Structure 1
């Protein structure tokens, strides 16, 4: 039986937390990270603001949650985050419970969907659905009068986002890329109604630019894509925002009319997951729809319509050599017309995905890999070439040692090459974006966050030798029963085999009765 979230007659205090541990070992806020995690603000909108006191804490935007005065504030804590943040979510639950034994701690999002059984051992409530499925939980724990009658995202709690607004017009994705967590979850692609999209836009007020948070804005229904595009265009023409941007898959570009449609409706930027310049790697990822996604050609095509093109790139040393990757990076730097990738990381064998299952079956996972190591910034799979060669190269590349000036020079040259296609804001984004991403910078937090950052051990970029973050050391004396909450969850053992908890977690669940589903799930 879950304990009541708040004493009867009192206005419940609810804290929604996006759990996160920075792979670069900084506890300070990462204010420039775009797009921001918006799920907590959508969830906050499910609660009636006049009947519940709601706060949101995002450990990306606000930095590590280290303030002891916040730990005993809430009656209820709802945690979310990427799967790799499971350890951090456990730690936070321990802090809240140690400070206030009567607090209710729930978890949702990718962590809950990937590790429901392990989460059930830690948290009071495990919600495996989307934010809408928290309604039953709110009714049960807080009362139906605390649920918002007309839910809308609480963007007012998000603080300033450099003039950016956010909207979601679809959920999930119609493709099945082997490395994607959405593939592992297996949920259907679906669209919002026009009324639902409009309510989100109105909740954000007037903004400079609107970011569409969809995993795939284009989707598998072109008529619906046109509907949503024209709806965004209507609000753009009314002056709600100066333009908007979205993420699309490679098949979007196969029909040139698509670019004309979005340009006529105010689109100013597109992001597409190019991921790799190597066709063999794309086929291994089941990402054949990106085989023709050459970033130089797509950037030029988008520029013809006044649209800024951005993309992500993944490094995979289990399929590629140092020479092949280095040649691709040098090729990008040598071409001013080709934008630099907005994101560069290692391919992550995310737990529950086909990529993870294949890597585990083929023995590609290294020994003693922790779930928290799946951050895209360290080796977790055996490379094709010797570790003593790959690790130093990877460390230099991810820190852009010896290339920072070249990256900055390229950013300026690329922006100059597009000066006749872009407006002032687009030009600044195309030039300053890569400099901010790759030139590095100093992140400043409060004294607790800076102290924790200074205490962090040096990174090795190798999961087998990477020391634990100081986040695994409790900030203060705690009840002994919480000691296990600060132990890392290992994916593999000393031989590189899956640990028993993980093997059990990824094993297909036994069929459950309707009654059992009702008892254990929100949806």
Structure 2
């Protein structure tokens, strides 16, 4: 690096916005916390450190920023691989001596391609950053008491964050965790306490776990009671977490959570069609009816939220329409917090099945896998599915019904919820589906204005404005602004990706199922 000043380290969460906006998305919950956990592995007094999350802060478009760091650590979801390449090119174009590392889902899904683009490829968890720091900067730059740098995150609308477990004990076919084949792990009580102590005063705690319930009820109770102790002593007003469908099979679980300050639960219902759930290997959600689960949670003063995915390869427009109408007609059933298409994420069983069955569209780009456009052939004609999808994701033609439902749902829960829960149940759906304008810097707003109009179909959707360099670049960096293509003109997986996918298949085939797919003991 340099002997005359402290090394400058920048950690960036690369993000591709499916709504084609470069402006910040401040209201997206939960925030990406990986950069702040990574930052905690560095000795803060010995480095100059900056963090940029392209979801929360908006697209990184400030030219002088690219000249600043000596070391860049990139992370992000798999679909952001192209964006990570672009950012690496910008940093290298500005400073030929900069070192660029990539970690997280991108590095695990595409290790060989990443090895050709980035200087360092980090495939492990946050602790695995330590040998990298020691090798690049030196042993003195390792944090003596590692803790997430929540102090660098700024205000998050009164939310605090904690992670009590890693990964998941189920193997849903569409989930990137299934493709990564990593065991479900719990944090010690000391580590959880260290995370809670690392942040300033906040009102509500968001548990970041992929599955807070897990495979051991005793461990679930330990972690729940730990959070309850903090809640009872007044550290925060309540907490929320994500649980799998098997959590609700034991009514004592809700009572335990509520008695320890739980105010909100999210569960991946995903589909109201049992056959679709079975095709996803998601049998633990077969009994996850949103109306029933919302009522069970409300009986304990807990707000229930869920995600819902639409799969036009298995469902007709009429079937999807009937399900949405049924939810709108029932004030007791909340609208989904997340509504998207099923994403064939690279490296997952769903992607492998879709590729082998010829369901992937031709000339498909990795960045197309954003859940907001068709990337797989539907069972009905495109010219009927695409217009319907466009209206569905934006609730066009249903705005009045959406507003009416939000009011009726909040009113139906008035006796069970406190003021903040009632406001969330009322305003949440209107913010998610009502539309709105996001405000960013002049550069961010200009890039958003330049974005081509979305078509909601991968075969016709134009490239994002991000693929046009925003400044003069050396010719050698121009290939980094070409999209990574997954399929050829016939919809077959491109030769360059076959090796990556075969390796992912080998990882899945040798996967040890550490946990039973049934209810935890």
Take 2:126 and 2:99, find their aligned partners in 1: how far apart are those partners? 18
What is residue 74 of structure 1 aligned with on the other side? 69
The alpha carbon displacement at 1:405 in A equals 2.2
Q: Which digits, 9 at most, give the CA deviation of each residue in 1:288-346, with x for residues without a partner?
A: 00000000000000000000000000000000000000000000000000000000000
Q: Which digits, 9 at most, give the CA deviation of each residue in 1:436-470, with x for residues without a partner?
A: 11111110011100111111111111001111011
Take 2:79 and 2:403, find their aligned partners in 1: how far apart are those partners? 31
Q: Is the 8 A contact 1:13 1:74 kept in 2?
A: yes
Q: Which moved more, 1:413-422 or 1:203-212?
A: 203-212
The alpha carbon displacement at 1:9 in A equals 4.5
The alpha carbon displacement at 1:131 in A equals 1.1
Take 2:24 and 2:310, find their aligned partners in 1: how far apart are those partners? 26
What is residue 408 of structure 2 aligned with on the other side? 413
What is residue 501 of structure 2 aligned with on the other side? 506
Q: How does 1:36-435 map to 2 (within 5 A)?
A: 36-435=31-430
Q: Is the 8 A contact 1:318 1:384 kept in 2?
A: yes
Take 1:382 and 1:404, find their aligned partners in 2: how far apart are those partners? 28
The alpha carbon displacement at 1:144 in A equals 1.2
Secondary structure at the residue paired with 1:246? strand
The alpha carbon displacement at 1:414 in A equals 0.4
Secondary structure at the residue paired with 1:121? helix
The alpha carbon displacement at 1:492 in A equals 0.4
Q: Is the 8 A contact 1:205 1:240 kept in 2?
A: no
The alpha carbon displacement at 1:508 in A equals 2.1
What is residue 462 of structure 1 aligned with on the other side? 457
Secondary structure at the residue paired with 1:368? coil
Structure 1 runs (4+) greater than 4 angstroms displaced: none
The alpha carbon displacement at 1:509 in A equals 7.9
Q: Is the 8 A contact 2:248 2:254 kept in 1?
A: yes
The alpha carbon displacement at 1:10 in A equals 2.2
The CA RMSD measured in Å over matched residues stands at 1.0
Is 1:473 aligned to 2:447, yes or no? no
The alpha carbon displacement at 1:412 in A equals 1.2
TM-score (normalizing by structure 2): 0.96
Q: Which moved more, 1:92-101 or 1:394-403?
A: 394-403
Q: Which digits, 9 at most, give the CA deviation of each residue in 1:414-441, with x for residues without a partner?
A: 0110000011111111111111111111
Secondary structure at the residue paired with 1:508? helix
Q: Is the 8 A contact 2:213 2:220 kept in 1?
A: yes
Q: Is the 8 A contact 2:16 2:83 kept in 1?
A: yes
Q: 2:9 aligns with which of 7, 10, 14?
A: 14
Q: Is the 8 A contact 2:160 2:205 kept in 1?
A: yes
- Can you give the 5+ residue segments of structure 1 that lack an aligned partner in the other structure? 1-5, 512-523
Take 1:49 and 1:94, find their aligned partners in 2: how far apart are those partners? 27
Take 1:293 and 1:385, find their aligned partners in 2: how far apart are those partners? 27
TM-score (normalizing by structure 1): 0.96
The alpha carbon displacement at 1:510 in A equals 12
- Can you give the 5+ residue segments of structure 2 that lack an aligned partner in the other structure? 507-521
The alpha carbon displacement at 1:402 in A equals 1.2
Take 1:390 and 1:13, find their aligned partners in 2: how far apart are those partners? 49
Take 1:314 and 1:263, find their aligned partners in 2: how far apart are those partners? 28
The alpha carbon displacement at 1:169 in A equals 0.1
Q: Which digits, 9 at most, give the CA deviation of each residue in 1:132-186, with x for residues without a partner?
A: 1000000011111111111111111111110000000000000000000000001
Change over 3 Å in CA distance of 1:255–1:363 after alignment to 2:
same
